[in-house]
Structure 1
Amino acid sequence: MFGEIKGINEECGLFAIWGHPEAAQLTYYGLHSLQHRGQEGAGIVTSENEKLHIHKGTGLLTEAFQSGDLEQLPGNQALGHVRYATAGGGGYDNVQPLHFKSEDGSMAMAHNGNLVNYQMLKGDLERTGSIFQTTTDTEVLAHLLKRETSKQLRKQLHGALPKLIGAYAFAVMTEDELIVALDPHGLRPLSLGLLGGAYVIASETCAFDIIGAEHVREVEPGELLIFNENGMYSERFMEAEDRALCSMEYIYLARPDSNLDEINVHTARKQLGKQLAKEAKVEADVVTGVPDSSISAAIGYAEQAQLPYELGLIKNRYVGRTFIQPSQALREQGVKMKLSAVRGVVEGKRVVMVDDSIVRGTTSKRLVRLLKEAGAAEVHVLISSPPIIRPCFYGIDTSSTDELIAANYSTEEMREMMGADSLSFLSLDGLKEGIGRDSSTPNCGQCLGCFTDQYPTAIPNEHKDLVVTGRE
């Protein structure tokens, strides 16, 4: 599998609509705009006449849904999901929304994020009789809800959600109600919109744009939004903690046309590039960015450094997510399937290559080689984020600490390994200032755990490979 060349895989994407006669069709379009957040599976569930209708499949949205599938999803309410496998791995059973049936009725559930106490909760539930049908952490919430004595979903959520630790944007739909919830730290993005008289929920505001919906506000940390025949109302299931929206959403994950907490992603990335130019001054002739997520930062760097920005690297739009490599000897050529250097731009030039992050370092090494093979006289690698020194536990598939190059080597050692003429990272203060979030809080309202080893929630010692010390 070739997969994502960066070594950072995306989040999942949520989309829901309440009160529109074309709910399934609009959800399909909304999910299409969120496809970058998950390419391993997609699903939609609708509600009509006290019955839930569901269709889901593996692969891209266009692979999971064929002609005629949407016509089998009637109703004015819909919940959709595109998935990248975090906890539990891939496979059809783990594609969301998950659908559950009981004597009390049916329920569908979708989730963006990762529960760091999933294994502990699952073990406790299994020891007391629960039988899990999937291997995804999302299912834990369904079992916790059934343990609650109340028959009302909102009251069940009030009892179950405080037991969860980690990042979660949940959407739960029954035959007559939709409820969404965001974790108390607001680690994942989630927004509320309006389309005429219909309410819309999406992981990113770009999904509102594609269907013509108006962005109303962000869902607040610790908030429940409840949609039913009486309209929408809000209540808290937990008090909000200091906001800790994932920094990688701004750096890499979100689409540049989305707004996160009223900050445009393209603008934030461009500012990160400008901050980088202030901190890392390089004698160069041309600036290029690694497509696609680094383009905005590269433009910002070029503007601040007063250097020309050029398309020195081109992305092949027609390469699938996977391909079969004909031999082991050709594996190192894999990056050329997705990216190629423009000789006419870089030949004989001192090139600044701006990228948004480095995980294992293998991609950067290959890109430096590509540029030099195309005749670049020098290649200076500049990264618009700080070094990633710890894994993410909240739903982004970064490597274990042993595989993170910045956790094991100095900047100079990394530069030598990549074959670059220089290597610089944006400082932590530069990251905070560039994104420009709430400066009244110590981390400016962002989760910086992968850069600092300081996480907003407790991390169980047995979770993955990292013991976080000094936290309760």
Structure 2
Amino acid sequence: MFGIWGHKKAAEITYYGLHSMQHRGQDGAGIVVTDGEQLNVHKDVGLVNDVFKRYDFAENPGHAAIGHVRNATQDDGVFNNVQPFVFHTLNGSTAIAHNGKIVNADSIRRNLEETGSILQTTSDTEVLAHLMRKNSQKTTEEAIIESLKQLVGAYAFLILTEDKLYVALDPRGIRPLSLGKLGDAYVVASETCAFNIIGATFEREVMPGELLTISNEGIKSTRFLLREPRNLCAMEYVYFSRPDSDLNEVNVHTARKRMGIELAKEHPKFDADVVTGVPDSSISAAIGYAEQCGLPYEMGVLKNRYIGRTFIQPSQELREQGVKMKLSPVRGVVEGKSVVMIDDSIVRGTTSRRIVRLLKEAGAREVHVRISSPRIENPCLYGIDMLTKKELIAANHTNEEIKDLIEADSIEFLSVEGMEKAIIKDKTLNQGVCAACMTGNYPVLENDQRKEFYRKY
């Protein structure tokens, strides 16, 4: 997500902000801009460039805007779910963009429908708009806070009206969200890499349980809920975020490199010939692993820059095809050698198996797989598209079985302790992480929801 308040080219800057975060979702994109009198929206399925290639920014002026890039899950990849959503009432209009997952969205939706609400999408984002409407005829700070208090889960919201921009983060801070300045304008983004692209300065992270109200009068902060400690999603460090982004005062590239170092301490392979990383998110860890083991790092696998992320493709068939098109081995680097292949994670095993095959077809004598994150054995409740244990290879197989399934010569994973050592700067500074997909310890899950969760997943 990206938002800006107080700049005459708000829509254009939002476009560049979204473009810098295209890695977070390739299934849809949208921008809502306001000139102070009305909200204008443009959105569609596809990449940012495709959605806005015929969009005339000059015809859609405004001083504030919010934008969103969409990662569709297996069952909701439809146009109606492309954000931001815009809601019109007699008292004004409201646009909402959301990153995360509302755990109790189904029960809220059921209650809303039973009391007369008609929802237009299958997205849990829409429930916030209906809750706000029930709490007040207008979009106000009080109505937003009362609505947010009813939500359980992980969320980062941008809410735009004709005269204000509201920014909210869940009480555990599971999703990333940062505040910056571009001249006199305020900017908000899921990742700080967006600030670098537009020339903005990083001010601070939005705090867990904080609501920011930004208007022509300035910026106001309200802490509506607080839960200790913070639980920023560990997969942001492992996979999702760009290496030039900073999360919790820790640079992502640096954290990934340290994960590679810790992995090498736990599971070294000193007799290998070369270390290679799976582009792009594994390269930092591969460099750290190679340095710690005293082995050469080489580009043994190349990536087609025009193919999107296979992990977030909405179907297994598309993931399989995407891996074949996306990656290719460098024969001159791996032929006749014992290769340590560093990957950031294994979710379903599709990518790892294909890359091992590619390396061996290119002449690699051995392929030893090292994963720079712990085993993913549990579904994610908070917005990552891995919802059932049956699709998680580590939830159903031992390391030895995984090794055989992906056709590797060996496989080892980083421990949870090693990961936390690499990515948590200082636990006393409220910099904890959510590693529920690895540990099964869900920071946001009430007792009744826990029972429903285990029954369902």
Measured against the shorter chain, the TM-score band is over 0.9
C-alpha displacement of 1:51: 0.9
Q: Are the counterparts in 2 of residues 106 and 174 from structure 1 also a CA contact under 8 Å?
A: yes
1:422 aligns to 2:407 (yes or no): no
Q: How does 1:198-277 map to 2 (within 5 A)?
A: 198-277=185-264
Q: Secondary structure at the match of 2:187?
A: strand
CA distance in 2 between partners of 1:407 and 1:320 (Å) = 26
CA distance in 1 between partners of 2:47 and 2:120 (Å) = 23
**Residue 431 (structure 1) aligns with:** 419
CA distance in 1 between partners of 2:103 and 2:257 (Å) = 32
Of the candidates 46, 66, 83, which is equivalent to residue 96 of structure 1?
83
CA distance in 2 between partners of 1:35 and 1:94 (Å) = 17
TM-score for both structures, normalised by structure 1? 0.91
Q: Secondary structure at the match of 1:226?
A: strand
1:188 aligns to 2:199 (yes or no): no
Q: Are the counterparts in 2 of residues 401 and 466 from structure 1 also a CA contact under 8 Å?
A: no
1:108 aligns to 2:95 (yes or no): yes
**Residue 350 (structure 1) aligns with:** 338
Q: Write the letter of the residue equivalent to 2:248.
A: D
C-alpha displacement of 1:436: 2.6
Q: How does 1:126-141 map to 2 (within 5 A)?
A: 126-141=113-128
C-alpha displacement of 1:275: 0.3
C-alpha displacement of 1:18: 0.3
Q: Are the counterparts in 1 of residues 92 and 138 from structure 2 also a CA contact under 8 Å?
A: no
CA distance in 2 between partners of 1:22 and 1:100 (Å) = 23
1:150-198: CA deviation from partner (whole Å, max 9, x where unpaired): 6451010111001001000001111101101000000000000001100
Q: Secondary structure at the match of 1:163?
A: coil
Q: Are the counterparts in 1 of residues 263 and 418 from structure 2 also a CA contact under 8 Å?
A: yes
CA distance in 2 between partners of 1:235 and 1:407 (Å) = 41
Identity level (%):
59
C-alpha displacement of 1:125: 0.5
Alpha carbons of 1:19 and 1:88: their partners in 2 closer, same or farther (altered >3 Å)? farther
Q: Write the letter of the residue equivalent to 1:439.
A: K
Q: Write the letter of the residue equivalent to 1:307.
A: L
**Residue 455 (structure 1) aligns with:** 442
CA distance in 2 between partners of 1:98 and 1:331 (Å) = 28
CA distance in 2 between partners of 1:110 and 1:331 (Å) = 27
Q: Are the counterparts in 1 of residues 193 and 244 from structure 2 also a CA contact under 8 Å?
A: yes
Higher mean alpha-carbon deviation, 366-375 vs 105-114, is at 366-375
1:162 aligns to 2:161 (yes or no): no
Of the candidates 24, 31, 49, which is equivalent to residue 37 of structure 1?
24
**Residue 54 (structure 2) aligns with:** 67
CA distance in 1 between partners of 2:213 and 2:96 (Å) = 14
1:268-300: CA deviation from partner (whole Å, max 9, x where unpaired): 000000000000011201000001110000001
Q: Are the counterparts in 1 of residues 320 and 350 from structure 2 also a CA contact under 8 Å?
A: no
Q: Are the counterparts in 1 of residues 229 and 431 from structure 2 also a CA contact under 8 Å?
A: no
TM-score for both structures, normalised by structure 2? 0.94
CA distance in 2 between partners of 1:418 and 1:386 (Å) = 17
Q: Secondary structure at the match of 1:145?
A: helix
CA distance in 2 between partners of 1:88 and 1:175 (Å) = 33
Q: Are the counterparts in 2 of residues 368 and 420 from structure 1 also a CA contact under 8 Å?
A: yes
Higher mean alpha-carbon deviation, 141-150 vs 248-257, is at 141-150
C-alpha displacement of 1:444: 5.8
Q: Secondary structure at the match of 1:414?
A: helix
Q: Over aligned residue pairs, what C-alpha RMSD do you find?
A: 2.1
C-alpha displacement of 1:87: 9.1
CA distance in 2 between partners of 1:228 and 1:336 (Å) = 48
**Residue 408 (structure 1) aligns with:** 396
Alpha carbons of 1:432 and 1:127: their partners in 2 closer, same or farther (altered >3 Å)? same
Alpha carbons of 1:399 and 1:148: their partners in 2 closer, same or farther (altered >3 Å)? closer
CA distance in 2 between partners of 1:330 and 1:360 (Å) = 13
CA distance in 1 between partners of 2:323 and 2:126 (Å) = 37
Of the candidates 286, 291, 297, which is equivalent to residue 279 of structure 2?
291
CA distance in 1 between partners of 2:241 and 2:308 (Å) = 20
**Residue 124 (structure 1) aligns with:** 111
Q: Are the counterparts in 1 of residues 132 and 139 from structure 2 also a CA contact under 8 Å?
A: no
Q: Are the counterparts in 2 of residues 256 and 266 from structure 1 also a CA contact under 8 Å?
A: yes
* 5+ long unaligned stretches in structure 1: 1-13, 323-328
**Residue 7 (structure 1) aligns with:** none
1:292-311: CA deviation from partner (whole Å, max 9, x where unpaired): 11000000101111100000
